[in-house]
């Protein structure tokens, strides 16, 4: 790393290094508490009864046997459910798509399989679970539709666009005509599988009823502010009546962006019973809400014989629920990645009887980039080009979809450094040309891309007379390292040791910040923390300069540096004063500040901001038996300034592993006859295990970006994007067979020959 | 999960007595499958009989072979020096299955009695003849890529999930059981059942009987053997197809052939005709292909598992090649040999 952007008044001592996560000891010793672990003296336990059918209505519920079990407090169904807001918009959370959000137990209608139909509340968990098994539900079944391939004719352009999701740009040029006229044409359909997030921690909510009638809510959520707003709306509560906390998450991947039904049910029961209630979902119930919906994609590329693109068409049809129009950015990436004069991109939805899909790590990009990056590999073969050379031929420093240059784009460095580390130059491009013993060896590559975003955020900071600093805001740390990087930024800004800084997150009593998602947290919360700390630095400096015989007399703020707990004159360490002495001498108990961060409008008007990556993958395939091993992945990432090399690397490693899962393993299998995901447990829904993961090498290339003062672009999503394409391209290189349907399982290799 | 009584007998006789004629009573040892089934409300035992204190945890010499107590854990069995040396096929098959944690808990007897991984069997929201006789088979025409291609019925297309049992079938082990009518020995091939019109019964254990030991015969197959398992990821997944192959060779001539398949039927699948066909033949790919074709002559695909027939054919051939070459499949190096 050579890029050095000072964090403010301080020096980069911790920022830019590999620092172990500050919340690690709490996590490995069990001190870190998760939403389903908080207790209350009067805690009751709720267990959800899930619908056996996907569509129809409840004819009757017989809860008598459940209610008769000693220890059962109440069975809540749509028949006796206490009233909540009757306005659908009151249930719309901060990231909700257009539509009427699902309300648990609202009526006798069933709109997806696994829908909650009752909540059994009991004095202990075991009783609630047993009683839940005794609830009998009589259904009137309507045939569900869950096969998007059978529903593409009914697809539509969503009339209401989802906030924050760019619809496809207007076409430019004439893609159809150019495609028809092109000398080289590549056109194919690409399929994937429905995927479920499956964080280790299942969704849970503990609602504690306080003595004064207010509620303290521990909810598995990626940002407490979203839960807070939702509860206020649904239950008609004033902000001060509810405090929401979620200090730790056992993974989220987007599944914790929206408040889910266990929160609503726990809150409903707690308010109704006037006592604290916890509801934890089972692993199989993790298949009863958000998921990554498959999109059926068609790509048509026209090119000159030298590989220069002349036409690019990318169409996607994606499934959504019957009650909301979930949308993500699937096709735009094709227009952003490559320079082409004739481009047409379309995105439509089709309604199926499943829960509303939701954001799952790099939502839309995982899907769309898989398709375009596989198609580009097909074009590389059709034109006899090296895949990197083809991408360079169509390279652009200009985002054609919005007619703006990129703020920074070090993708060429990603190609160069990634290729060098991987040994790409030793690749024989001929399919089936590389072998090792019985196994065919395949090398493939792809580009990854994600939008670099920033959200309005604030952060608070308090420096006390003992020289300790506490910072924090409402955002959540999904396990990504947010606690750690904010601690680093604060420590560097005020020149403090790491262990003098305490970071608090996930509490509505802290400074305002949005949900953690979209890879925006480092830039948003990081900048806010830096500004709060800089404010404290200025306050401390003013106090110091005003002291009698101050060593900083007649010195400007710009001339001092904060280091080792002291304010010192740059270049003259003899002139310095300890922060603790400043506060003591000025009889100041503490210094407080709030920092505000917002996207730089001028920058945003001038530039578009994306992170990029180049992924190189090696597979070894026993072709006869269809066994694919992904033996090597190199990912070179251009994502601006890297605050913590260790947590950053872990972020990318996790993304790559998830990408390997997407390419080779993950598939939620729907039985369309009953509209139900059937492999709803971690034994049968396959995520990669240790044996599936071999060498993974992460490179961060230097990239200077000025969208925010930290130079940070975000890392949460970029690690996964393009990985599936790189692997699928490697499978083609190994076997000469183009499998356009993920995951690439044994049956697909065997079926192809 | 329902409420249940819990008893912990100290002897086999007490255990048999505790079970009695109570159809709602279940033995529990490692609990690696039963507890899951209870959590899913698939099993609702009225009484759990904890047999972990019974004196069935030893591996002993017997008639030139070994007697494995029913409570020997999968891990202890796989890593036992005598098993590794004399029955490496069994050790290999055990290590191909589950995870280290599960193998530490799971017992030998329990491994024989584990239930199918059919999605519908585990999901009480769907009909299943194995779980609730007479309700129908949801897997037929449903999500069935992991289901049976051999020996299935129109009542049930589930497969037996064990890896260990496939090796035990090839080794021609004997199951020792004890019950109200006394002790008896069941040849391994007769222990598990095909679904027929009574898919709720996985085995031929009579009501009230308990497995006390598995006997391994003297014939060991220490050189020409393999356990080859094909699955949807490289570890910790049930077999789509697995092959236990054991040969005795005289030069290149096959003197004895044992072949059992996992993941393809309601029980470890053996075909005496195919084994007879191999005997006396030269160990060549052509011979192996003929045996595979014979075994799969009767194979029937379901709506989405047709690939398993071709996969099984290739797995049989490769398994026999590995066995003949004396290059058994490693269970730690995931590259297929």
Residue recorded with tokens 């749509």: A78
Interface test mutation site (partner B, options A118, A437, A746, max chain B beta carbons within 10 A): A746
Candidate from B117, B232, B307 with C-beta closest to A750: B307
Q: Name the residue among A53, A282, A622 with its Cβ closest to that of B336.
A: A622
Report the residue from A52, A126, A692 with minimal CB separation from B234.
A692
- Helix extents (H) in B189-282: 272-278
| Average pLDDT score, chain A | 96
Cβ-defined contact of B318 to A624 (cutoff 8 Å): yes
For residues A426-449, average pLDDT: 97
Test B119 with A52 for CB contact under 8 angstroms: no
Give the model's confidence band at B140: pLDDT under 50 very low, under 70 low, under 90 confident, else very high.
Answer: very high
Buried b (16+ CB within 10 A) or exposed e, A666-683: bbbbbbbbbbbbbbbbee
* Residue pLDDT, tens place only, A288-323: 999 999 999 999 999 999 999 999 999 999 999 999
Nearest CA in chain A to B313: A625
Instruction: Name the band, by pLDDT with cuts 50, 70 and 90, for residue A12.
Output: confident
Instruction: Please give the Cα distance from A278 to A220 (Å, whole number).
Output: 12
A374 DSSP 8-state letter: H
**Collapsed DSSP state (helix, strand, coil) of residue A644:** strand
pLDDT at A2 over 60: no
Residue B98 has a pLDDT of 96
Q: What is the ipTM score, two decimals?
A: 0.97
Say yes or no for a CB contact (<8 Å) between A679 and B143.
yes
* DSSP result, A325-353: ------SHHHHHHS--SSEEEEEEEEE-S
List of E strands, chain B: 5-7, 25-28, 47-50, 59-62, 65-69, 174-179, 182-187, 210-216, 225-230, 241-250, 253-262, 269-270
Cα three-residue angle A544-A550-A551, rounded to 5 degrees: 105
CB of A375 within 8 A of CB of A182? no
Nearest CA to CA, how far is A141 from chain B (Å)?
13
Is there a catalytic annotation at residue A717?
yes
Q: Is the peptide bond before A743 cis (omega within 30 degrees of 0)?
A: yes
Question: Which residues, 6+ apart, have CB-to-CB distance to A21 below 8 Å?
Answer: A481, A483, A484, A646, A647
B91 touching chain A per CB within 8 A: no
Would you call B314 and A751 a contact, using CB atoms and an 8 Å cutoff? no
| Residue from A282, A622, A691, A734 to probe the interface with B (highest B Cβ count within 10 Å) | A691
Q: Which pLDDT score, from 0 to 100, does residue A573 have?
A: 84
Produce one character per residue of B46-55: b if its CB has 16 or more CB atoms within 10 Å, e if not.
ebbbbbeebe
CA distance A235 to A233: 6
pLDDT at position A524 over 50 = yes
Per the CB < 8 A criterion, the answer to whether A634 and A726 are in contact is: no
Question: Tokens 């769309």 belong to which residue?
Answer: A368
Give pLDDT, residue A4. 36
3-state SS of A514-535 is CCCCCCCHHHHHHHHHHHHHHH
Q: What pLDDT is recorded for position A751?
A: 85
Residue A88's contacts (CB-CB under 8 Å, 6 or more residues apart) are A100, A101, A103
pLDDT score of B318 more than 70:
yes
Residue A627 touches partner B, C-beta closer than 8 Å = yes
Checking if the pLDDT of A572 tops 60, the result is yes
| Contacts A–B by Cβ distance under 8 A | 111
Q: What is the pTM of this model?
A: 0.97
Is the pLDDT reported for residue B265 higher than 70?
yes
Contact A670 B117 (CB under 8 A): no
Mean per-residue pLDDT for B312-328? 98
Query: Which residues of chain B are within 8 Å of residue A686 when distances are taken between CB atoms?
Result: 232-233, 237
Q: Check CB contact under 8 Å for B143 and A626.
A: no
The nearest CA of chain A is from the CA of B322 a distance in Å of: 13
* CA angle centred on B273, ends B271 and B278, rounded to 5°: 100
- pLDDT grade, residue A5 (50/70/90)? very low
Of the candidates A320, A291, A321, which has an alpha carbon nearest to the alpha carbon of residue A109? A321
Best B102, B124, B125 residue to mutate vs chain A (most A CBs within 10 Å): B125
Chain A contact for B120, CB < 8 A?
A: yes
Minimal C-alpha gap between A624 and chain B (Å): 7
For A380-390, the pLDDT digits (tens) are 999 999 999 99
Neighbour-count burial of B218, counting CB atoms closer than 10 A to its CB (0-12 exposed, 13-18 middle, 19+ buried): exposed
Residue window 145-174, chain B: list those with CB within 8 Å of chain A: 145-146
Residue A8 has pLDDT above 70, yes or no: no
The CA distance from A77 to A91, in Å, is 19
Q: What confidence score (pLDDT) does residue B1 get?
A: 87
Name A581's Cβ contacts closer than 8 Å, sequence gap at least 6.
none
The residue-averaged pLDDT of A618-642 equals: 98
Q: How many CB atoms lie within 10 A of CB A723?
A: 31
**Which residue in A291, A236, A227 sits closest to A264, CA to CA?**
A227
The confidence score (pLDDT) of residue B21 equals: 77
Local structure of B183: helix, strand or coil: strand
Asked whether the beta carbons of residue A692 and residue B233 sit closer than 8 angstroms, the reply is yes
| B249 and A CB contact within 8 Å | no
Looking at residues B225-232, what average pLDDT do you find? 98
Question: Looking at chain B from residue 37 to 66, which residues have their Cβ under 8 Å from any Cβ of chain A?
Answer: 39-41, 44
Selecting from A627, A664, A679 the residue whose C-beta is nearest the C-beta of B230 gives A627
Average pLDDT of every residue of chain B: 97
Q: Which of A133, A670, A686 has the CB atom closest to B233's CB atom? A: A686
pLDDT at A752: 60
Residues B310, B289: Cα–Cα separation, whole Å: 11
């Amino acid at each position: 790393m050579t890029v050095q952007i000072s964090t403010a008044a301080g020096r980069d001592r911790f920022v830019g290094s590999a620092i172990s996560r500050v919340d690690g000891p709490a996590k490995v010793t069990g001190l870190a508490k998760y939403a389903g672990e908080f207790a209350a003296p009067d805690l009751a336990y709720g267990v959800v009864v899930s619908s056996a059918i996907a569509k129809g209505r409840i004819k009757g519920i017989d809860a008598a046997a459940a209610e008769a079990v000693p220890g059962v407090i109440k069975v809540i169904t749509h028949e006796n459910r206490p009233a909540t807001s009757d306005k659908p918009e009151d249930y719309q959370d901060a990231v909700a798509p257009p539509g009427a959000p699902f309300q648990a137990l609202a009526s006798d209608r069933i709109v997806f399989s696994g829908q909650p139909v009752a909540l059994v509340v009991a004095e202990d968990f075991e009783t609630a679970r047993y009683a839940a098994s005794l609830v009998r539900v009589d259904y009137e079944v309507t045939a569900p539709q869950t096969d998007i391939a059978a529903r593409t004719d009914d697809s539509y352009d969503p009339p209401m666009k989802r906030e924050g999701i760019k619809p496809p740009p207007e076409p430019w040029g004439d893609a159809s005509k150019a495609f028809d006229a092109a000398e080289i044409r590549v056109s194919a359909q690409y399929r994937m599988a429905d995927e479920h997030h499956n964080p280790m921690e299942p969704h849970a909510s503990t609602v504690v009823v306080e003595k004064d009638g207010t509620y303290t809510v521990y909810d598995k959520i990626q940002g407490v502010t979203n839960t807070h707003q939702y509860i206020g709306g649904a239950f008609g509560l004033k902000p001060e009546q509810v405090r929401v906390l979620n200090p730790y998450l056992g993974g989220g991947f987007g599944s914790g962006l929206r408040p889910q039904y266990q929160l609503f049910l726990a809150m409903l029961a707690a308010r109704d019973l006037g006592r604290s209630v916890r509801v934890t979902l089972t692993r199989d119930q993790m298949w009863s809400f958000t998921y990554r919906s498959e999109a059926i994609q068609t790509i048509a590329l026209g090119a000159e014989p030298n590989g220069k693109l002349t036409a690019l068409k990318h169409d996607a049809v994606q499934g959504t629920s019957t009650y909301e129009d979930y949308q993500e950015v699937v096709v735009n990436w094709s227009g952003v990645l490559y320079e082409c004069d004739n481009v047409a991109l379309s995105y439509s939805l089709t309604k199926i009887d499943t829960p509303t899909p939701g954001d799952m790590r790099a939502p839309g990009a995982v899907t769309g980039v898989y398709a375009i990056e596989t198609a580009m590999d097909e074009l590389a073969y059709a034109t006899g080009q090296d895949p990197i050379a083809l991408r360079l031929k169509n390279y652009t420093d200009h985002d054609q979809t919005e007619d703006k240059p990129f703020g920074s784009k070090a993708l060429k460095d990603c190609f160069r450094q990634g290729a060098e580390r991987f040994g790409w130059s030793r690749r024989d491009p001929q399919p089936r040309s590389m072998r090792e013993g019985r196994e065919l060896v395949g090398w493939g590559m792809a580009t990854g891309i994600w939008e670099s975003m920033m959200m309005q955020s604030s952060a608070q900071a308090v420096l006390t007379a003992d020289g300790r600093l506490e910072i924090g805001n409402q955002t959540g740390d999904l396990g990504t390292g947010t606690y750690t990087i904010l601690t680093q930024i604060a420590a560097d800004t005020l020149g403090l040791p790491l262990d003098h800084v305490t970071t608090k997150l996930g509490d509505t009593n802290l400074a305002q910040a949005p949900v953690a998602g979209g890879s925006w947290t480092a830039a948003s919360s990081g900048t806010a923390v830096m500004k709060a700390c800089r404010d404290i630095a200025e306050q401390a400096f003013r106090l110091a300069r005003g002291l009698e015989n101050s060593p900083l007399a007649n010195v400007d703020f710009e001339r001092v540096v904060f280091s080792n707990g002291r304010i010192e004159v740059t270049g003259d360490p003899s002139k310095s004063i300890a922060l603790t002495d400043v506060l003591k001498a000025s009889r100041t108990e503490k210094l407080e500040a709030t920092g505000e961060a917002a996207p730089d409008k001028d920058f945003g008007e001038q530039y578009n901001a994306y992170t990029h990556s180049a992924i190189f993958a090696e597979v070894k395939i026993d072709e006869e038996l269809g066994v694919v091993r992904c033996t090597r992945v190199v990912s070179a990432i251009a994502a601006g300034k890297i605050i913590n090399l260790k947590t950053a690397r872990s972020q990318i490693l996790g993304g790559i592993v998830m990408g390997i899962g997407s390419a080779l393993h993950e598939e939620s299998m729907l039985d369309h006859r009953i509209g139900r995901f059937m492999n709803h447990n971690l034994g049968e829904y396959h995520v990669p295990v240790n044996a599936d993961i071999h060498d993974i090498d992460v490179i961060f290339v230097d990239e200077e970006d000025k969208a925010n003062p930290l130079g940070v672009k975000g890392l949460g999503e970029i690690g996964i994007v393009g990985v599936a394409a790189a692997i699928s391209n490697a499978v083609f290189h190994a076997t000469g067979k183009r499998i356009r349907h993920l995951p690439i399982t044994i049956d697909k290799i065997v079926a192809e020959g | 999960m329902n409420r249940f009584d819990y008893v912990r007998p100290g002897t086999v006789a007490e255990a048999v007595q505790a079970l009695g004629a109570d159809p709602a009573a279940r033995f529990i040892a490692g609990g690696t499958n039963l507890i899951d089934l209870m959590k899913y409300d698939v099993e609702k035992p009225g009484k759990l009989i904890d047999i972990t204190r019974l004196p069935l945890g030893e591996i002993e010499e017997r008639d030139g072979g070994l007697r494995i107590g029913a409570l020997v854990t999968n891990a202890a069995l796989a890593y036992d020096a005598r098993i590794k040396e004399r029955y490496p096929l069994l050790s290999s098959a055990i290590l191909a299955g589950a995870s280290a944690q599960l193998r530490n808990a799971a017992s030998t007897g329990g491994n024989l009695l584990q239930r199918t991984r059919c999605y519908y069997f585990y999901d009480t929201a769907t009909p299943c003849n194995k779980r609730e006789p007479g309700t129908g088979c949801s897997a037929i025409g449903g999500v069935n890529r992991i289901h049976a291609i051999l020996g299935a019925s129109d009542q049930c297309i589930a497969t037996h999930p064990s890896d260990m049992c496939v090796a035990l079938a090839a080794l021609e082990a004997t199951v020792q059981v004890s019950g109200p009518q006394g002790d008896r020995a069941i040849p391994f091939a007769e222990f598990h059942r095909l679904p027929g019109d009574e898919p709720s019964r996985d085995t031929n254990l009579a009501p009230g009987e308990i497995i006390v030991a598995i006997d391994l015969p003297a014939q060991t197959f220490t050189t020409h053997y393999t356990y080859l398992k094909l699955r949807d990821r490289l570890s910790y997944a049930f077999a789509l197809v697995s092959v236990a192959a054991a040969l005795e060779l005289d030069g290149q001539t096959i003197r004895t052939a044992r072949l059992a398949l996992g993941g393809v039927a309601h029980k470890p699948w053996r075909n005496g005709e195919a084994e007879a066909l191999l005997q006396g033949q030269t160990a060549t790919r052509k011979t192996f292909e003929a045996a595979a074709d014979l075994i799969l002559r009767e194979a029937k695909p379901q709506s989405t598992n047709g690939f398993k027939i071709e996969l099984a054919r290739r797995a049989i051939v490769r398994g026999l090649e590995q066995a003949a070459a004396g290059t058994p499949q490693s269970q730690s190096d995931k590259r297929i040999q």
